[in-house]
Structure 1
């Protein structure tokens, strides 16, 4: 596809990097020549210096033949205007990042009246991701497939689970669990395991299963499966407001600690059912006064990565809470991956992933076959969702007879709403939704799983 990205910040540059890797024709527009120069050193993309709402600039970027325009500048209004102008100049799909909560109730109206295909609020998307984790606190990370009917859940193997030294086959035979171990991270190594693979304590294990079957498996090994009943949030920003609303709807008790008195007054007005505490969330005394040791969930959402990292480590050490730590700067990845911070949340990645999912769905409508794609296992593997079409050569062939590429698993099949963990004698049928896990990069069609 031909894609124009307006805005060359963290999200814009990440999108450009990913989309050029997927062999899309990408043009990047930004008003800052310096930002374009920094990104352009590593990307094979057309660079246009100028205002993305300008007709001349968009024409230079090729808007008349573009399939998709993505506006992710720092201004909500500019993003909306860019999409409006692009839509009128060409026949493209448009995506706008809109952060101000004041627009939330107007999103559907804006999409209809302005013809914008997708509007994403990064803070709301981040809050929804955290809320999903608190529904299933045993998982470090959860990625949904087949509209939530299948999930990829990551957890760390501990001695009390009694799975150390067990092979994948042994686990499946003993428990008869309808799950599939899709990937294992062990130190710097990443594995797409076969049945003979042996697990070790400390492994980060990713399983594919329906929410019901994942819950049954976690219960069988002694992991907590019920959603948390109370949550302590440090930091009263926009993400905290969205998250608190979601948690209150889930009947959780919510405590928010915020240092700014003025902000606390706003939080109390917006969230009358939450407990709002004015104080320094990094104070150990205050955290214990607010009953940290009995909290079932702890979410660090301050505006400083360093504070969030320290808070996450402290909560992991001093409580049994499900800990979620927000980190904005990607430069910390190598450090944070080695620390006990619970579930790490990167708003930039979440926003980028949502936009990429829409991009792939758009591509699917004009010829591609990827419904959903996630980078998993420390970005060294991919989990892809395909829909099986009538003309596919994999239809009706038993999986054991397919010549699959190395380091690739057919993880699960969604057939008419029923989730199947496939065995060797299962076949793929027309209309099936299939999740494939692989370390092979750039699979774009179900046919690509086969050796040529």
Structure 2
């Protein structure tokens, strides 16, 4: 496919990297010469220096013949204008990243389709929802909803005192044969392992396990971690993400005790007027005295989502030092994510990866229902639908020649969900959840067509 990406920032670069590896014809358009030089130096893609709101530059970049146009600059207005012009010029599908939720509100005077946008990506909302899910599963470092929420994949870090240390995955499964789950990946000292049954669990491994949603609490207990209930939450930063987290939690049936700290006085006043069930404080969320005064030692979860990612990390480390049970930091540099747990954070969320995952699903198309790149680990979770005449149907999974570096996690068939075993059979139109290394994605996808 011919894909034009407008914006050579973190999201644009990440998408160009992945899509070029998948042999798509990728063109990157940006007016920032330095950003384009980085792309040229590292990726096998075409680059074009130009203005995204110029019809001439869009035509010169090949938008007229594009199968997909992806607008992911840091400015909403540029993305919207570029999308509208690209749609008029003939791009078959237009995907745009828009930070503001104005276009997605029910009573919005303008819809995304009015601007020629086929798919609207809202990374702030995706990140906020991910943080809320992590708060609800306090022991998890990662959490991905699968099969319309009927299954979940969680990441759990194994402590040195865990009863699982030294056991093989076969022994682990045998010890808890009354619980249906599957270990689908292990992150160990920066390496990603798609495991076999003979792999032994080591201290400080990060296990990625999959199970039905209602079984997840029992799975967490097997690792020696209690699934702690969170009631009192402190949010550092009244940014769009911080405000969105507070709104989402306030809409829940459960009544949370929420404090939000915002350094800008005007923003704090606005949020206090809007969020009636949240105690909004005006102050510096990295100030230890303020945190102590406001009772951080009695807080169950501390979420730092300011615009300064170093401050997010430092304030979460401070909270962890004060024995807060769950800390979540918003980071923008993907390189920080593998380090987050090493230095003591419970979880790190990257809003750019949330946007990349959503865009990638639409780019892959075909039998692909969803694609999720796991943070801090080189593996992807893919949800595929089996074509009636594909190579994977009507035979046990153990007899299918899947490429190296992938494992089948679960099957959704006629409304029922099951964790996959070697004897499981995939029927036509079943949805199958597969965990695999990036280099195996295309081979796996082709088996389902």
**Alignment TM-score, normalising by the size of structure 2:** 0.92
Residue 318 (structure 1) aligned with residue 318 (structure 2): no
**C-alpha deviation, 1:2, in angstroms:** 1.3
Q: In structure 2, how many angstroms separate the alpha carbons of the residues matched to 1:334 and 1:157?
A: 15
SS of 1:200's equivalent in the other structure is coil
Q: Does the Cα contact within 8 Å between 2:11 and 2:352 map onto a contact in 1? A: yes
CA distance in 1, matches of 2:89, 2:444: 35
Question: What's the counterpart of residue 403 of structure 2?
Answer: 405
Judge conservation of contact 2:27–2:45 (CA < 8 Å) in 1.
yes
Q: Are the aligned partners of 1:370 and 1:445 in contact in 2 as well (CA < 8 Å)? A: no
Higher mean C-alpha deviation, range 405-414 or range 217-226: 217-226
**Superposed, which structure 2 residues align to 1:322-341 within 5 Å?**
322-333=326-337, 335-336=339-340, 338-341=342-345
CA contact (8 A) 2:403 2:443 kept: no
The 8 Å contact of residues 183 and 377 in structure 1, kept in 2 or not, is answered as: no
Contact 2:302 2:324 in 1 (8 A): no
Q: 1:434 to 1:107 in 2, by over 3 A?
A: farther
Q: Which residue of 2 aligns with 1:166?
A: 167
Secondary structure in 2 aligned to 1:41? Answer: helix
Deviation at 1:104, TM superposition (A): 4.5
Q: What secondary structure, in the 3-state scheme, does the structure 2 residue paired with 1:269 have?
A: helix
Partner of 2:296: 292
Q: Distance in 2 between matches of 1:34 and 1:248?
A: 43
| 1:49 match | 49
Aligned mates of 2:445, 2:372 — CA distance in 1: 19
Q: CA, structure 1 residues 393+243, in 2 after alignment: closer, same or farther (shift >3 Å)?
A: same
Between stretches 206-215 and 440-449, larger displacement belongs to 440-449
Change (3 A) 1:247 1:173: same
359, 383, 399: which is aligned to 2:381?
A: 383
For the 8 Å contact 1:412–1:434, the answer to whether it is kept is yes
Q: Does 1:269 align with 2:270?
A: no
- Deviation of 1:138 after TM superposition, in Å, equals 1.4
Q: Residues 409, 102 of structure 1: CA spacing in aligned structure 2 closer, same or farther, 3 A cutoff?
A: closer
> Does the aligned pair in 1 maintain the 2:192–2:377 contact within 8 Å?
no
Distance 1:322 1:422 in 2: 31
Match of 1:3 in 2: 3
Encode CA deviations 1:247-283: one digit per residue, 9 max, x unaligned. Answer: 1112322101122222211111121210011222222
CA, structure 1 residues 412+378, in 2 after alignment: closer, same or farther (shift >3 Å)? Answer: same
Aligned 8 A contact 1:386 1:445 in 2: no
Change (3 A) 1:310 1:377: closer
Q: 1:124-273 maps to which residues of 2 (within 5 A)?
A: 124-159=125-160, 161-176=162-177, 177-225=179-227, 228-250=230-252, 251-273=255-277
CA distance, structure 1, for counterparts of residue 340 and residue 323 of structure 2: 19
**Contact 2:163–2:224 (8 Å) recurs in 1:** no
Per-residue deviation at 1:181?
Answer: 0.4
| Residue among 403, 423, 435 paired with 1:437 | 435
Q: Aligned partners of 1:78, 1:277: CA distance in 2, in Å? A: 34
Kindly indicate whether the alpha-carbon contact (under 8 Å) linking 1:308 and 1:326 is maintained by their aligned counterparts in 2. yes
Query: What is the distance in 2 between the residues matched to 1:38 and 1:320?
Result: 40
What do the CA deviations read for 1:389-433 (whole angstroms, capped 9, x no partner)? 111122111122223333431111111222211222221111111
Aligned residues of 2:330 and 2:348 also touching (Cα < 8 A): yes
CA distance in 2 between counterparts of 1:421 and 1:405 reads 20
Query: How much does 1:125 deviate?
Result: 1.8
CA–CA distance in structure 1, aligned partners of residues 109 and 230 of structure 2:
32
Of 391, 394, 397, 2:392 maps to 394
Asked whether the 8 Å contact 2:104–2:112 carries over to 1, the reply is: no
CA distance in 2, matches of 1:112, 1:334: 38
Q: Once the two structures are superposed, what CA deviation does each residue of 1:418-449 show, in whole Å capped at 9, x if it has no partner?
A: 22112222211111111222336142254757
Shift of 1:312: 1.2
Residue pair 2:406, 2:434 contacting (<8 A) in 1 also? yes
- TM-score, length-scaled by structure 1: 0.91
Cα distance between partner residues in 1 of 2:76 and 2:378: 34
Judging changes above 3 Å, is the alpha-carbon distance between structure 1 residues 447 and 357 closer, same or farther for their aligned structure 2 residues? closer
Q: Classify the secondary structure of the residue corresponding to 2:16.
A: helix
Of 405, 410, 414, 1:416 maps to 414
Distance across 2 between alignment mates of 1:10 and 1:114: 24
Which is worse superposed, 231-240 or 98-107?
Answer: 98-107
Alignment partner, residue 348 of structure 1: 352
1:71-150 equivalent positions in 2, closer than 5 A: 71-105=71-105, 109-150=110-151
What is the number of equivalent residue pairs in this alignment? 444
- The answer as to whether partners of 1:149 and 1:417 remain within 8 angstroms in 2 is no
CA distance, structure 1, for counterparts of residue 190 and residue 402 of structure 2 = 25
CA contact (8 A) 1:235 1:300 kept: yes
Q: 1:103, CA displacement in angstroms?
A: 4.4
